[in-house]
Amino acid sequence: MTPQDIQARLKTKFGDAIGDLVITPDAAKPTPKYYENFFTISPKVWREAAEYLKFDRELLFDGLMCVTGLDDKVKLTAVYNLYSYIHRHRITVKVEVTRDEPKMPSAQPVWMHADWMEREAYDLLGIVFEGHRDLRRVLLPEDWIGHPLRKDYVEPAEYRGIMTWRENLLGKLPGESYDPKTPIGGNQ
Amino acid sequence: MFELAQYVVDKDFWPLSGLGVLGVSILLMIAVSVFLMHGFFMPIAGVMTFVERKIAGWTQARIGPNRVGPFGLFVILADGIKLILKEDIIPAAADRPLFKMAPYAVLGGAFMTMVIIPLGPNLIPVDLDLGILVYIAAGSFVTMGIVMSGWSSNNKWSTLGGARSVAQIISYEIPVGMALLPAVILTGSLSFQSMVLAQGWAPWQWTMFHNPGLFIATFVYFVAALAEINRTPFDIPEAESELVSGYNTEYSGMRFGMFFVAEFGNVVVISWITVLVFMGGWHFPGEQALVQNWFGGTWPTLVGALESGKAVQFGLFNLIGHATLMAKTVPLIILIVLLRWTLPRVRIDQLMDISWKYLTPMGMGATVMTAAYMIWPGWGPFPEGAGSGMALPRDMGPMRVWSFLLPVAFMAFCVGHALMASRYPWKPGRPSKIKPAEATS
Amino acid sequence: MTTALKTEEITLNMGPQHPSTHGVIRFILKTDGEIIYECVPDVGYLHRSIEKIGEKVEWQSFIPYTDRVDYLASMNSNWAYSLAVERLAGIEVPRRAEFLRVIVGELGRITSHLIGAGALALDIGAATPFTHAIRDREMVNDLFERICGARLTFSFVYPGGVAYDAPPGWIEDVLEFCDYFEPRIEQFNALITYNKIFVKRLAGVAVIDTETAIDYGLVGPNLRASGFRFDLRRDEPYSVYPELDFDVPVGRGEVGVLGDCWDRFKCRVDEMKESLKIVRQACRMLPTDSAHKAKVKKILKPPKGEVYVRSESARGEMGFYLISDGTQNSVRTKIRTGSFSAMGVFPKVARGMMIADLIAVIASLDIVAPEIDR
Amino acid sequence: MTNHESSYFGAIYEVIHTTLKGLIVTSRAWALDPKVTVQYPDIDIRTGHFRGIDSPSMGEVLKGLGRLDPEPAMRKLRMFGDQPRGLKTKPVLNPIINMLYGTIPGSNASNDFYESRLSTKIADRFRGILNVDIEICTACLACSRACPIDCIQIDTTKVGKLLKLERFDIDIALCMYCGLCSVPCPTGAIHHTKEFEASTTDFPDLIRRFIDESRMAYKTVKLKFPLGTEPPPEAAPAPIPPVAPAKA
């Protein structure tokens, strides 16, 4: 099924909770045929929409390819790339949440693959997925402050006494603590 | 040992004779055990490390140790010195006395078996007539050592390793006992020396080919002994990839060295025992003739030879015997080493299955069959006397001919089938000419 | 525990430094003796936040980082990223570059499977197959070193083509390697694949059927081992794969149950044979007229847009989700890798298993720490 | 291979059969496969040639490896080194000797004696430690822009219309040897060498400085005629602009 039919089918089922299909974000340039066609689903309906996407006879999106967290300074988005191994068609769905209240229903009960993917989105972007099996940080230590992939993230200088940067010896301007004349060390 | 002490006292060697027979024999025992441990067991274990690493290297397309000394032979000293120089750390929360005692128990167990192994016609430290029981007892002594080391290192992985080794070694003592039983029935005695004396030099005079049951018992013993000393495919207690190194994880320096020496010593010991009990020991073809014209028909003894001044012939006679024993043991050692670099490791529950479902029943079957051979008229018990000359299987009763040919045929079939199955055209050795990058100057 | 004897669970810490967790991964095991009750994987020890660097670095300068995402098959990850950038920026790749990419990609797949299969044999206890695999891998490394100068992190496939053209005599040496390596796979099989102890250790262990595999997002050999014939090179063809004929090996449940550890191992070994076939065809069909790299502006500014492109790397589907807003830096570079999803399967599969089996499952799923943590 | 769980005796025979097959493979590998270890000091991996114990280059290597006075080390190598000196054995000609002693790369054994499939020479395109040929560096900063980790630091000052190089440092600890800097360089000044031994104990040593005192950057001259063609006799080659005197 083409993305348009998929979007229309969902539109009929869920009404205006479904955004319209975005084909070419940059309308000026003709889009190469591979661009993602996506549409947004509002978090309120997302859980039912997910089950519908997976179990509807026409759609059968059993393979969740990838869950990506996005932050564009205004809102946080979770992008679900779905693929159907049976019908061999694919679609991209976006669920947007606001930055100050980043809660949305989790897709983990529908696709088990979302379990680790959503934990990573939570860990790196701070999107909270309700109904997730065990939402913990997956890559960063439990007591890490902040979510690194956010645009406004500032990396802390040290974590529990371990420095997270190394003094860039190149940055020294001539005349500062080193002078070019010093013989280069090592077995040059 | 006592005749020698008596001989020393009679000959009135000045300093020794004053001690009386008992004193001298104790002194002799100490001297022999010191010689055995340092002169024989340690070098054997050392050479084994070199042989193992060289074979491992070659099978894996690398050179193996060749840096230190001619052909890399000094790697034995290098390892030893390295281990001695390394600081042996005792973990803080370890159970110190147990931790320190464990390697000695393991090494002690390995040495115990050395005392009862006849390395030549007369080269046997003490010819105990309960030889096999001492050997099996040594096995459980080693288990105690391993459990001590596993438990006392206060490390979960070592404890797991220790627990595994208890299960493994104890449950493999049954098949070892079961496999040695038919040989004991056949030769009528528990002492290794008399077992060897009952056999002859020709394969059809070996206990191994006496009857199909004993043929199976040989392999049952070999596999069970491999498990006794934790060699692949049964090296589960110190499984590097699972338990980080099992019971000897926390050991370092010479303490670890002792586990090392014990393991390699054990490899040589079990190949000796296999050859002695099942494959005709140190018998060599011209044995009877030599005894006839060198010692006038009587079986040489140390004291007899010393008195009649035939020490040189005695030494030569034992040397030939020892040489044939080593000639049969070295291929077995190489097989054990090769097995380590060919087979993967068995899981702990499969290990138990093999012992209880396969090896023990086969051992019992072998015992029953050998007993049948002993009492059935015409099948004939073992020919009496040492190496009954050049007798051919024909004149040892018709049944014995079949029970010799059947196992040989089975072995030929297995090897042939494996060779046919691995006949894929590998063009090994001469790889098609791929030029290494142009070695221009 | 109904027995009167009071027994306690052991909480074992397997990793992050453990000889067979294939990099720094940690499994917190609750075991009763040998049987595992509960296995909780804990990753992140090798997290370099490559995705954040992707937003800071230009499009073409990100290539050296894709090497470090999956350093065992870095050719394939370079290729996956370049494919995504080409589709984003609409770059046409000359035919010779496409064929060079196929040769180098399939050789990369062979090296990765050699390590995967060798490491599984080593974790089960057999050291020789691993060393033989490494020796054959070194020969491919020599070929890579002659074409691109590096032996592990190649940075060879760029958006728009390949960094350097093949040196003279390189293609003949690749063909010669194929002739040399074909029988070596048979030797590997004779040595370990059908060995009874190896089979008993792997047959029927950690069975993952197709439905669970799809649900947990398993891809590549892990998915195909469950009998489901799905390969991106054939089902979502990219580059010149439609012109090459090769078949996709699938688990057949030869020794144990369909979809167990042994099938995953056998899938990888068979895939090596297929890759050899592909490399031979590509070497013969390599055109000599077209260039090895398309003209690409130094500072690449792809038009606004998003694209999710996936290609078949050694560990299955490696997907790049790239968002560009017309500048030279990407807004978001998401890397979807096979090992990360394979980690999710452990809690389900490891329950009731023995520790020795868990080691076998880790090696059979062929997970690699940098791919999980990125 | 039987798919079903084989019978009691079938399992036993399978164990015997596969173990024997494995032993056949390992023993063949033991006796016949060439040993491919490249023993570093014995092989001069830059030329791929086998380096005799007493050849000068071995002395360099030992000196290079931090043993300032190579003589004792070389004497030790000669005495205990990998023998046998005189044994010129071909790996395949006498398999017994080969099986017993293995293919030991004796020093005077000929090069093809060490016949193995692995290359013993660094490839020509090897991306080793960076080197900058400062005479032809035009200070265009293309390399430092292309470097993903900014491990190249170039300071230039303008002198009239020309550029003057003050500083050109590369931090080879940060560098990941990806070759992105050598691609855009117009004159090929920055390029990868075949050097890879640079282990030191502290970070500052890993900064390679290519300029001692500041110098004028190289000015590329636009050729009036395509390279390689004979210049027409009357067209005199364009004079190279004189170096403008440094004004303050």
Mean pLDDT of D19-41: 80
CATH number of the domain encompassing residue A93: 3.30.460.80
- CB contact under 8 Å between B58 and D39, yes or no, is no
The answer for A 154-173 residues in CB contact with D (under 8 A) is 166, 168-171, 173
Q: How do residues B298-321 score in pLDDT, each as one tens digit?
A: 888 888 888 888 888 888 999 999
Contact A10, A52 (CB under 8 A): yes
- CB contact under 8 Å between C18 and B244, yes or no, is yes
Q: How many CB pairs under 8 A join A and C?
A: 97
Q: Give C186→chain A minimum CA distance, Å.
A: 33
Least reliable range by pLDDT among B137-151, B294-308, D102-116: D102-116
Q: How do residues D73-88 score in pLDDT, each as one tens digit?
A: 555 545 443 433 323 3
Question: Would you call B440 an interface residue with chain C, using a CB distance cutoff of 8 Å?
Answer: no
Question: Would you call A174 an interface residue with chain D, using a CB distance cutoff of 8 Å?
Answer: yes
Q: Which residues of D touch C121 (CB under 8 A)?
A: none
- Tokens 């018990």 correspond to B381
Select the residue of D29, D117, D180 nearest C64 (Cβ to Cβ).
Answer: D180
Contact C76, C311 (CB under 8 A): yes
Q: Is the pLDDT of residue C90 over 70?
A: yes
- CB contact under 8 Å between D121 and B67, yes or no, is no
Select the residue of D29, D80, D117 nearest B434 (Cβ to Cβ).
Answer: D117
- CB contact under 8 Å between A65 and C343, yes or no, is no
Please state the ipTM of this predicted complex: 0.87
Q: How do residues B247-260 score in pLDDT, each as one tens digit?
A: 888 888 888 888 88
Q: Do A92 and A164 fall into the same domain? A: no
Per-residue b or e along A45-66, where b marks 16 or more CB atoms closer than 10 Å to that residue's CB:
bbbebbebbbeeeebebbbbbb
Question: Would you call C12 an interface residue with chain B, using a CB distance cutoff of 8 Å?
Answer: yes
Select the residue of C180, C184, C359 nearest B434 (Cβ to Cβ).
Answer: C180
Q: Give C305→chain A minimum CA distance, Å.
A: 6
What integer pLDDT is reported at residue C263 of this predicted model?
93
What integer pLDDT is reported at residue B312 of this predicted model?
87
User: Could you state, in order of their start, the residue ranges of all structural domains in chain B?
Assistant: 97-300+313-413
Distance CA B174, CA B177 (A): 5
User: Which one of B55, B62, B63, B424 makes the best mutation probe of the D interface by having the most chain D beta carbons within 10 Å?
Assistant: B63
Mean pLDDT (chain C) is 90
Select the residue of D64, D150, D204 nearest A169 (Cβ to Cβ).
Answer: D204
- 3-class DSSP assignment, residue A182: coil
- CB contact under 8 Å between C90 and A32, yes or no, is yes
Q: Which of A79-88, A158-167, B109-118, D22-31 has the highest mean pLDDT?
A: A79-88
What integer pLDDT is reported at residue B223 of this predicted model?
94
Question: How does residue B364 score in pLDDT terms, banded at 50, 70 and 90?
Answer: very high
What is the 3 state secondary structure string of chain C?
A: CCCCCCCCCEEEEECCCCCCCCCCCEEEEEEECCEEEEEEEECCCCCCCHHHHHHHCECHHHHHHHHHHCCCCHHHHHHHHHHHHHHHHCCCCCHHHHHHHHHHHHHHHHHHHHHHHHHHHHHHCCHHHHHHHHHHHHHHHHHHHHHHCCCCCCCCEECCEECCCCCCCHHHHHHHHHHHHHHHHHHHHHHHHCCHHHHHHHCCCCCCCHHHHHHCCCCCHHHHCCCCCCCHHHHCCCCCHHHCCCCCCCCCCCCCCCCCHHHHHHHHHHHHHHHHHHHHHHHHHCCCCCCCECCCCCCCCCCCEEEEEEEEECCEEEEEEEEECCCCEEEEEEEECHHHHHHCCHHHHCCCCEHHHHHHHHHHCCCCHHHHHC
Fold of D130-216: Alpha-Beta Plaits (3.30.70)
- CB contact under 8 Å between D204 and A185, yes or no, is yes
What integer pLDDT is reported at residue D223 of this predicted model?
73
Domain that holds residue A8: 3-151
Q: Do A114 and A184 fall into the same domain? A: no
Q: Give D239→chain B minimum CA distance, Å.
A: 41
Select the residue of C61, C153, C194 nearest D18 (Cβ to Cβ).
Answer: C194
What integer pLDDT is reported at residue B426 of this predicted model?
47
Question: Would you call C124 an interface residue with chain B, using a CB distance cutoff of 8 Å?
Answer: yes
Q: How do residues B79-123 score in pLDDT, each as one tens digit?
A: 888 888 888 889 898 889 999 999 999 988 888 888 888 888 888
- CB contact under 8 Å between B344 and C124, yes or no, is yes
Other Cβ atoms within 10 Å of B24 Cβ, number: 22
Distance (Å) of CA B148 to CA B55, B89, B134, B372, C355: 32, 17, 21, 43, 22
- Stronger pLDDT, B390 or D47, i.e. the higher one: D47
Q: Which chains touch C (3 or more CB pairs under 8 A)?
A: A, B, D
Of B217, B180, B209, B192, the residue nearest B396 (C-alpha): B209
What integer pLDDT is reported at residue C65 of this predicted model?
93
Distance CA B174, CA B165 (A): 15
Q: Is the pLDDT of residue D4 over 80?
A: no
- 3-class DSSP assignment, residue A163: strand
Q: Do A38 and A97 fall into the same domain? A: yes
Q: Do A61 and A118 fall into the same domain? A: yes
Question: How does residue B396 score in pLDDT terms, banded at 50, 70 and 90?
Answer: low
Which amino acid would we find at residue C188? F
Q: Which residues of A touch D167 (CB under 8 A)?
A: 174, 180
Q: How do residues A19-52 score in pLDDT, each as one tens digit?
A: 888 775 444 444 455 677 888 999 998 999 999 9
Question: Would you call C147 an interface residue with chain D, using a CB distance cutoff of 8 Å?
Answer: yes
What integer pLDDT is reported at residue A172 of this predicted model?
56
Q: Give C334→chain A minimum CA distance, Å.
A: 7
What integer pLDDT is reported at residue D107 of this predicted model?
31
Question: Would you call C327 an interface residue with chain B, using a CB distance cutoff of 8 Å?
Answer: no
Select the residue of B60, B343, B431 nearest C197 (Cβ to Cβ).
Answer: B343
Question: Would you call A30 an interface residue with chain D, using a CB distance cutoff of 8 Å?
Answer: no
Select the residue of D64, D151, D213 nearest A170 (Cβ to Cβ).
Answer: D151
Q: Do A181 and A163 fall into the same domain? A: yes
Question: Would you call B365 an interface residue with chain D, using a CB distance cutoff of 8 Å?
Answer: no
What integer pLDDT is reported at residue D27 of this predicted model?
86
Q: Is the pLDDT of residue C213 over 90?
A: yes
Question: Would you call D200 an interface residue with chain A, using a CB distance cutoff of 8 Å?
Answer: yes
Select the residue of B63, B67, B439 nearest D121 (Cβ to Cβ).
Answer: B439
Q: Give D177→chain A minimum CA distance, Å.
A: 17
List of residues 6+ apart from D245 with CB closer than 8 A: none
Question: How does residue D173 score in pLDDT terms, banded at 50, 70 and 90?
Answer: confident
Report pTM: 0.87
Question: Would you call C153 an interface residue with chain D, using a CB distance cutoff of 8 Å?
Answer: yes
Q: Which of B58-67, C80-89, C292-301 has the highest mean pLDDT?
A: C80-89
Q: Is the pLDDT of residue A7 over 80?
A: yes
Domain count, chain A: 2
Mean pLDDT (chain D) is 71
Of D42, D68, D66, D46, the residue nearest D54 (C-alpha): D42
Q: Which CATH architecture has domain C10-371?
A: Orthogonal Bundle (1.10)
What integer pLDDT is reported at residue D89 of this predicted model?
35
Question: How does residue D245 score in pLDDT terms, banded at 50, 70 and 90?
Answer: low
Do chain B and C touch: 3 or more Cβ pairs under 8 angstroms?
Answer: yes
Question: Would you call D166 an interface residue with chain A, using a CB distance cutoff of 8 Å?
Answer: yes
Mean pLDDT (chain A) is 82
Nearest CA in chain B to C356: B242
What integer pLDDT is reported at residue A80 of this predicted model?
93
Select the residue of C149, C191, C195 nearest D126 (Cβ to Cβ).
Answer: C149
Q: Give A183→chain D minimum CA distance, Å.
A: 9
What integer pLDDT is reported at residue B391 of this predicted model?
59
Q: Is the pLDDT of residue A175 over 50?
A: no
User: Which one of B342, B432, B440 makes the best mutation probe of the D interface by having the most chain D beta carbons within 10 Å?
Assistant: B342
What integer pLDDT is reported at residue D244 of this predicted model?
63
What is the 3 state secondary structure string of chain B?
A: CHHHHHHHHHHCCHHHHCCHHHHHHHHHHHHHHHHHHHHHHHHHHHHHHHHHHHHHHHHCCCCCCCCCCHHHCCHHHHHHHHHHHCCCCCCCCCCHHHHHHHHHHHHHHHHHHHHCCCCCCCCCCCCCCCHHHHHHHHHHHHHHHHHHHHHHCCCHHHHHHHHHHHHHHHHHHHHHHHHHHHHHHHHCCCCHHHHHHHCCCCHHHCCCCCCHHHHHHHHHHHHHHHHHCCCCCCCCCCCHHHHCCHHHCCCCHHHHHHHHHHHHHHHHHHHHHHHHHHCCCCCCCCHHHHHHHHHCCCCCCHHHHHHCCCHHHHHHHHHHHHHHHHHHHHHHHHHHHHHHCCCCCCCHHHHHHHHHHHHHHHHHHHHHHHHHHHHCCCCCCCCCCCCCCCCCHHHHCHHHHHHHHHHHHHHHHHHHHHHHHCCCCCCCCCCCCCCCCCCCC
- Tokens 């602009």 correspond to D241
Nearest CA in chain B to C126: B344
Question: Would you call C200 an interface residue with chain B, using a CB distance cutoff of 8 Å?
Answer: yes
Least reliable range by pLDDT among A104-108, B199-203, B404-408, C238-242: B199-203
Question: Would you call C255 an interface residue with chain D, using a CB distance cutoff of 8 Å?
Answer: yes
Per-residue b or e along B242-251, where b marks 16 or more CB atoms closer than 10 Å to that residue's CB:
bbbbbbbbbb
Percent of chain B with pLDDT over 90: 23
Q: Where are the alpha helices (DSSP H) in chain A?
A: 3-14, 46-55, 114-125
Question: How does residue D56 score in pLDDT terms, banded at 50, 70 and 90?
Answer: low
What integer pLDDT is reported at residue C115 of this predicted model?
94
Nearest CA in chain D to A174: D167
Q: How do residues A42-80 score in pLDDT, each as one tens digit?
A: 999 899 999 999 998 888 999 899 999 999 888 999 999
Distance CA B353, CA D162 (A): 84
Q: Do A83 and A35 fall into the same domain? A: yes
Q: How do residues B189-227 score in pLDDT, each as one tens digit?
A: 888 988 888 888 888 888 888 888 999 999 999 999 999
Question: Would you call C261 an interface residue with chain B, using a CB distance cutoff of 8 Å?
Answer: no
Q: Give A81→chain C minimum CA distance, Å.
A: 8
Q: Do A83 and A174 fall into the same domain? A: no
Do chain B and A touch: 3 or more Cβ pairs under 8 angstroms?
Answer: no
Q: Which chains touch A (3 or more CB pairs under 8 A)?
A: C, D
**Residue C32 forms beta bridges with which residues?**
C35
Select the residue of A25, A62, A148 nearest C49 (Cβ to Cβ).
Answer: A148
Least reliable range by pLDDT among B30-39, B81-90, C365-374: B30-39
Q: Which residues of C touch A124 (CB under 8 A)?
A: 49, 51
User: Which one of A35, A55, A84 makes the best mutation probe of the C interface by having the most chain C beta carbons within 10 Å?
Assistant: A35
Percent of chain C with pLDDT over 70: 99
- CB contact under 8 Å between B417 and D17, yes or no, is yes
Q: Is the pLDDT of residue B431 over 80?
A: no
Mean pLDDT of B368-377: 84
